[in-house]
Structure 1
Amino acid sequence: MKRFIRLLISSLIVFSICVITAYGGASGNYVVLKPEAFQTVVDGKKVALYTLKNTKGMVVQITNFGAKIVSILVPDRKGQLGDVSLGYDNIDQYLTGNPNYGSIVGRYANRIGNASFTLNGKTYQLTVNDAKVNHIHGGNKSFRTVVWNATQLDEKTLELTYFSKDGEEGYPGNLNVKVVYSLTDENEMRIDYEATTDQPTVINLTNHAFFNLAGEGSGDVLHNELTINADYYTPKNDTFIPTGEIIPVKGTPMDFSKGMKIGAKIKEDYPQLKVTPTVPGYDINFVLHKKSGNELSFAARLYEPNSGRVMEIYTTEPGIQFYSGNNLNGQGGFIGKGGKPYQVYGCVCLEPQHFPDSPNKPNFPATVLNPGEWFKSTSIYKFSTK
């Protein structure tokens, strides 16, 4: 019996060492993902889970289904790793649940009003998939729901490509898209986007990660301190389409320019906070302060005081969408890894982007891509502690 106990203890020690080795540091309170839980075939293409690691213990796991970030492991101020990205622990849930978790969104991220736009005198009708009238996140068969071709270039880098056919979800032009995820030893996750087309089209790409710096499924984010490098925002109508105005944040609950707790003004009686019939919150595009049009510059900072984790975002994009998890309810698609319920205000989405409905708003930065041009965009998510 004693020999059995010694063997059992030895086996547990070996298993623990394997987990620590695999993830580059002491394992914290997070769900260890199993690669086999992501192996399947969708539309004749193989789906898998890919792991990126740096020398500091940061780990990012990505599936080529929707080019989705599945987990982001980063240390807290005590050095304990935690998973700060909401999502699922198996491919079956990704196939049937919330399609947005960690996904690459396109051809056009966010909304296009009346699911249509006019380009060079021709009107294009897109798939209606939002509020029974609008188009959101590229439609039903969008970049978040297709299998990408994946090539792991090295331990820190994953390249994903997708060919979007002319007419897909109503968009003109054959579009070749490349997304590269990479890590640095400064605990940065970098996303580089590129695209080319053979016809004039519109494009707006982002990543729709849902962050909780205390650890996914660990409660609400109202105590998090958020800074957004923006003096203006684009107000929306009752179907979340921008009115076309660009107005100051000063003196409104939208002013995060000097840093503010997310919950400080979230329940104020302010029209732009009325995002659901019962739950107020943020779901709005901010106009980033830029010295030049496409510079890689500071966009936002998020600080979670209990863990000490900090996330800073730098981007070449002109805007960033801030969403405060208003629709999460702990049921159905909002049950995540390990069966954890994702409750209301349980995440922060900060999505670098061009503005919603830009194809129909001539005063917004242009999103037209022509043959012979390259679409290029970069966003960096830098993690640290204090």
Structure 2
Amino acid sequence: MSSAKKASDAFKFLPQGALIQEFLLGTQNIVLSFPSPASYKSPRNPFFGENIGRLANRVSGARINNLNGKSYDLAANNGPNSLHGGKEGWGKKDFEGPETVERGGREAMLWKYLSKDGEEGYPGTVELRLWYFMGVEKEGGVEKTSLEIEYEVELVGDEVGETVVGVTNHSYFNISDGPTLEGTVVNLATNLHQVTDAHDIPTGAIEPFPGMPANEDFTLGAKEPDPDHCFILNSDPATVKIDTRQEPMQRMISLYHPGSKIHFETLSTEPAFQFYTGMGIDVPEMDGMPARGPRSGMCIEASRYVNAVNEEKLRHMVVLKKGEKFGSRTIYRGWKD
């Protein structure tokens, strides 16, 4: 069996949001999922596996304050804020594909989505191209299964001269041998995070997150620590480009669970990542699956800074102009002892 074939056996995807339905390490699916595509349409689904856009994370006041010399109102679907592209962001849309292609000398699975001008309040028609690269590599005698995600977005319409883009994957990972994250050993590449206000919007301060050291192991308990914050790898925002694909691939987080003996890591070219330990998960028993509750999975969302569009010193990292490309690359990699 070829390594490419073996790698593809570890993954399943669905057209809705080109979402990740299955990421197998041995016989364990380490992403939270539903067996039936129909269940992903449930309002109780907290973005399982979805690719998020047009603009991931929160936009303050559900409003883009200054773009094309005007303001744009977005759907408020997270208190006063707009979250993950609005009420029906890209994760809720059926993508075109998949198509097997060669890219950079490697086999990839290509998905596309055309987002029309005005969709969820966002200006300009843009096309998203998403490539999945599935791999199995042997390293020191250990077989590691990986999924690389490459995003590329272009403003293809002539309606406006600029728009905003920020794309990420919203898979929930659980590498434990139980229903929650408890006992998972975490090692963060950074503990610097965007401090947020009562509405989860960054205040502008960047500080170490309490109780979670950088580059040291700590263990998730039943309820603590409980982050849902954006952690900063590149603390010089002026250097962040709209296309980060040529930046070095940096480790964001490493995980291990002594019960399952599973290791997992995320690497990316992106300057930041939202780390969420799933305290708000509330999925009832459905589709033959047991209920999924608080801390049944964690998200590691490689991204730009939160609410960058409304901050003058940050907006360049999400404002996409005609003729430019938004781009990023992220790798999820797992293996067992």
TM-score (norm. length: structure 2): 0.85
**Structure 2 match to 1:134:** 81
* Residues 53, 59 of structure 1: 8 Å contact kept: no
**Cα separation, 1, equivalents of 2:275 and 2:192:** 13
Q: State the Cα distance separating 1:343 from its structure 2 match.
A: 2.4
Counterparts of 1:1-386 in structure 2 under 5 Å? 54-55=5-6, 59-75=10-26, 81-96=27-42, 97-117=44-64, 118-131=66-79, 133-153=80-100, 157-186=108-137, 187-197=145-155, 198=157, 199-214=161-176, 218-249=178-209, 252-263=210-221, 266=224, 281-289=226-234, 293=240, 294-329=247-282, 331-332=283-284, 335=285, 338-364=288-314, 366-386=317-337
**Structure 2 match to 1:18:** none
Query: Measured at CA, do residues 85 and 145 of structure 1 come closer, stay the same or move farther in structure 2, by a change above 3 Å?
Result: same
**Cα separation, 2, equivalents of 1:143 and 1:257:** 34
**Cα separation, 1, equivalents of 2:46 and 2:280:** 14
Structure 1 residue runs of 5 or longer lacking an equivalent are: 1-20, 25-51, 76-80, 268-280
Return the structure number with greater strand share: 2
Q: State the Cα distance separating 1:86 from its structure 2 match.
A: 0.3
Deviation sequence 1:351-383 (CA, Å, 0-9, x none): 101111111123336211101001111000111
Q: State the Cα distance separating 1:256 from its structure 2 match.
A: 4.0
Query: Measured at CA, do residues 258 and 363 of structure 1 come closer, stay the same or move farther in structure 2, by a change above 3 Å?
Result: farther
* Residues 244, 363 of structure 1: 8 Å contact kept: no
Q: State the Cα distance separating 1:56 from its structure 2 match.
A: 5.9
**Cα separation, 1, equivalents of 2:108 and 2:8:** 15
Q: State the Cα distance separating 1:53 from its structure 2 match.
A: 6.2
Query: Measured at CA, do residues 265 and 72 of structure 1 come closer, stay the same or move farther in structure 2, by a change above 3 Å?
Result: closer
* Residues 52, 89 of structure 2: 8 Å contact kept: yes
* SS at structure 1 position matched to 2:38: helix
Deviation sequence 1:224-244 (CA, Å, 0-9, x none): 011121141101111111112
* SS at structure 1 position matched to 2:205: coil
**Cα separation, 1, equivalents of 2:72 and 2:7:** 48
Query: Measured at CA, do residues 192 and 290 of structure 1 come closer, stay the same or move farther in structure 2, by a change above 3 Å?
Result: farther
**Cα separation, 1, equivalents of 2:235 and 2:329:** 15
2:201 maps to a residue whose letter is I
Paired residues, what number? 311
Query: Looking at both structures, which has the greater relative contact order when contacts are Cα pairs under 8 Å and sequence separation is at least 6?
Result: 2
**Cα separation, 1, equivalents of 2:287 and 2:255:** 23
* Residue identity (%): 28
Structure 2 residue runs of 5 or longer lacking an equivalent are: 138-144, 241-246
Q: State the Cα distance separating 1:149 from its structure 2 match.
A: 0.2
Q: State the Cα distance separating 1:157 from its structure 2 match.
A: 3.2
1:98 maps to a residue whose letter is N
- Which region of structure 1 is more displaced relative to structure 2, 354-363 or 317-326? 354-363
